[in-house]
Amino acid sequence: MRKMGMTRRMFLMELGRRKGFRIESELSESVTHIVAENNSYLEVLDWLKQQAVGDSSRFELLDISWFTACMEAGRPVDSEMKYRLMEQSQCRPLNTPELEMPALIATKLSQYSCQRKTTLNNYNKKFTDAFEVMAENYEFKENEIFSLEFLRAASLLKSLPFSVTSMKDIQGLPCVGDQVRDIIEEIIEEGESSRVKEVLNDERYKAFKQFTSVFGVGVKTSEKWYRMGLRTVEEVKAEKTLKLSKMQKAGILYYEDLVSCVSKAEADAVSLIVKNTVCTFLPDALVTITGGFRRGKNIGHDIDFLITNPGPREDDELLHKVIDLWKKQGLLLYCDIIESTFVKEKLPSRKVDAMDHFQKCFAILKLYQPRVDNSTCNTSKKLEMAEVKDWKAIRVDLVITPFEQYSYALLGWTGSRQFGRDLRRYAAHERKMILDNHALYDRRKRIFLKAGSEEEIFAHLGLDYVEPWERNA
């Protein structure tokens, strides 16, 4: 098969991606269109047979002219007869060299983030930051529909391998409604969005932003405090009539530490503490850091750990033993243990944002900072340094999962939140399955699908596997 030049091929691939297409270098389940240049229908068909794809009729086999027409229109155009490779096209001569790959394999960008690869390389941060402010504001107003509209748009733009510089760049993309489009257009033209600026200056938004940054405080409590006339965390601290929960008291007490970012180095240090403590009681236990740090982030606001035991022995009291030891060591500042409410053979939850039923512990640990050598300091300086706090309060979540549910729990707790939402939506809408952090249920076959790894879960769903560092949706 005659091969397109590498320079031209790379140029067209990048052009397609800029227009919102997903361009693949290899065949996969998500491929819908195969585009070739200077090759006949039979030549492409022979190439497909070599790839052992089975039924090739699921692909649109198209001439490069279809692709260039799409680029001119800024959106996918209909696969009309004039673009299709026809069966009566001249067959390639016998004894030609082994077929090479067609020029381009193109797919439309999916509405589901679980069908996109989203790394930490965000080329559209000025847009996604704006969308996240709008989403948060609607969340504070408990308007889930508008909040999700902006979250999905932010997720989509994070996955693009290029910077959006004109409105043409977003033509044909899913998840881009009128509200989103207006903000993109204004940022392109003015450099900022007046609507976003208005939200950032809004008294209610600023108050809720502060209140919800307190450990244990959600939208309902924020609303209550706002109605009382409170506007800042400092005012909350000064208000002696407030009845705070145990969690909220800890959130206020260690507020400055908890709102500061947790570094990767701090996460690694806490990970060592958690693993050493768990293995004291259960030597074969598997302790895995999840959340943003598993997705490759260098900073976060808390650290999540998934704990399971591959061996035959389980310990229902493990969390309690871990907590008791940390108390004795003086490391525990706060803890709340939630016992398991899992019911075997119960169908997974249909809710996209459903909480799971694992035994878990929400804790605040004391992480000691490296000591500074004060041997050369004078006496007053030594006293001053001795009074300085040498530890930092760190939020830590511990989740205990049975080994047979470990893969599902790992997938759910790794995130991102939007990736998990879309994975569950995809399972329900596209595969007639129900997915949660415990299991995957096939509604057609009426069976639970076992999985020993995340890869097997993706395979059950008919999805290409997405690495943890590509799930930053």
Reported as a pLDDT band with limits 50, 70 and 90, residue 93 is: very low
**Residue 181, domain CATH:** 1.10.150.110
Can you tell me the distance from the alpha carbon of 473 to that of 470, in angstroms, rounded to the nearest whole number? 8
**Per-residue pLDDT, 371:** 59
Do both 38 and 99 map to the same domain?
yes
Q: Yes or no: say if 4 and 37 are a contact pair by the CB < 8 Å rule.
A: yes
Number of H helices, E strands in the chain: 19, 14
Q: Which of 64-78, 106-120, 265-279 has the lowest mean pLDDT?
A: 64-78
For residues 107-120, give the mean pLDDT: 90
H/E segment holding residue 22 = strand 21-24
Reported as a pLDDT band with limits 50, 70 and 90, residue 15 is: confident
For residues 407-420, give the mean pLDDT: 97
Answer whether residue 113 is part of any domain: no
Which residues does 37 contact at the CB level (< 8 Å), separation at least 6? Answer: 2, 4, 63, 64, 103
Task: Dig out the tokens for 324 from the structure.
Answer: 């008791």
Q: Which residue has the higher pLDDT, 8 or 434?
A: 434
For residues 227-241, give the mean pLDDT: 96
Q: Flag whether pLDDT at 166 surpasses 70.
A: yes
Strands (E), 173-326: 262-263, 286-289, 299-300, 303-308
Answer whether residue 409 is part of any domain: no
* H helices present in 254-405, as ranges: 255-259, 264-281, 291-294, 318-329, 379-387
Q: Which of 116, 105, 144 is nearest to 26 (CA)?
A: 105
DSSP-assigned letter for residue 192: S
Q: Which of 268, 260, 263, 269 is nearest to 298 (CA)?
A: 263
Q: Yes or no: say if 403 and 435 are a contact pair by the CB < 8 Å rule.
A: no
Would the annotation count 315 as a binding residue?
no
Do both 358 and 440 map to the same domain?
no
**Per-residue pLDDT, 320:** 96
Query: Could you give the residue numbers annotated as active site?
Result: 302, 304, 397
Sheet (strand 104-108) strand order: 21-24, 104-108, 33-36, 60-63
Q: Flag whether pLDDT at 74 surpasses 90.
A: no
**Per-residue pLDDT, 6:** 67
Do both 327 and 232 map to the same domain?
no
DSSP-assigned letter for residue 118: B
Q: Flag whether pLDDT at 238 surpasses 70.
A: yes
Answer whether residue 434 is part of any domain: yes
Query: Using omega within 30 degrees of 0 as the cis cutoff, is the peptide bond preceding 416 cis?
Result: yes
For residues 112-128, give the mean pLDDT: 97
Reported as a pLDDT band with limits 50, 70 and 90, residue 7 is: low
Reported as a pLDDT band with limits 50, 70 and 90, residue 381 is: low
**Per-residue pLDDT, 16:** 80
**Per-residue pLDDT, 104:** 53
Do both 268 and 396 map to the same domain?
yes
Do both 89 and 47 map to the same domain?
yes
Task: Dig out the tokens for 25 from the structure.
Answer: 């270098």
Of the candidates 219, 253, 287, which is a domain's last residue?
A: 253
Q: Which of 1-15, 38-52, 176-190 has the highest mean pLDDT?
A: 176-190
**Per-residue pLDDT, 1:** 45
pTM score, whole prediction: 0.76
Q: What is the pLDDT of residues 125-137, one digit of tens each?
A: 999 999 999 999 9
Q: Flag whether pLDDT at 124 surpasses 60.
A: yes
Do both 386 and 336 map to the same domain?
yes
Q: Flag whether pLDDT at 34 surpasses 60.
A: yes
For residues 326-355, give the mean pLDDT: 90
What is the maximal distance between C-alpha atoms in the chain? Answer: 94
Of the candidates 404, 427, 451, which is a domain's last residue?
A: 404
**Per-residue pLDDT, 82:** 73
Of the candidates 108, 140, 162, which is a domain's last residue?
A: 108
Q: Flag whether pLDDT at 22 surpasses 70.
A: yes
**Residue 457, domain CATH:** 3.30.210.10
Reported as a pLDDT band with limits 50, 70 and 90, residue 262 is: very high
**Per-residue pLDDT, 60:** 85
Answer whether residue 120 is part of any domain: no
Specify the pairing of strand 60-63 against strand 262-263.
unpaired
Answer whether residue 118 is part of any domain: no
For residues 246-258, give the mean pLDDT: 98
Can you tell me the distance from the alpha carbon of 320 to that of 298, in angstroms, rounded to the nearest whole number? 30
Length of the chain: 473
Do both 24 and 94 map to the same domain?
yes
Do both 300 and 393 map to the same domain?
yes
**Per-residue pLDDT, 373:** 52
Answer whether residue 412 is part of any domain: no
Do both 194 and 211 map to the same domain?
no
Give the number of domains in the chain.
5
Answer whether residue 273 is part of any domain: yes
**Per-residue pLDDT, 51:** 79
Q: Which of 72-81, 174-183, 454-463 has the lowest mean pLDDT?
A: 72-81
Print the domain residue range for 426: 417-470
Q: Flag whether pLDDT at 90 surpasses 80.
A: no
Reported as a pLDDT band with limits 50, 70 and 90, residue 80 is: low
Q: Which of 242, 182, 186 is nearest to 211 (CA)?
A: 242
Would the annotation count 304 as a binding residue?
yes
Would the annotation count 129 as a binding residue?
no
Q: Which residue has the higher pLDDT, 50 or 464?
A: 464
**Residue 46, domain CATH:** 3.40.50.10190
Do both 266 and 393 map to the same domain?
yes
**Per-residue pLDDT, 411:** 98
Can you tell me the distance from the alpha carbon of 327 to that of 363, in angstroms, rounded to the nearest whole number? 11
* Region label for 98, one of left (φ > 0), alpha (ψ between -120 and 50) or beta (otherwise): beta
Can you tell me the distance from the alpha carbon of 102 to that of 12, in angstroms, rounded to the nearest whole number? 13
Which residues does 3 contact at the CB level (< 8 Å), separation at least 6? Answer: 100, 101, 103
Answer whether residue 146 is part of any domain: yes
Q: What is the pLDDT of residues 438-465, one digit of tens each?
A: 999 999 999 999 999 999 999 999 999 9
Q: Which of 18-22, 352-356, 399-403 has the lowest mean pLDDT?
A: 18-22
Do both 33 and 165 map to the same domain?
no
Q: Which residue has the higher pLDDT, 17 or 432?
A: 432
Do both 268 and 372 map to the same domain?
yes
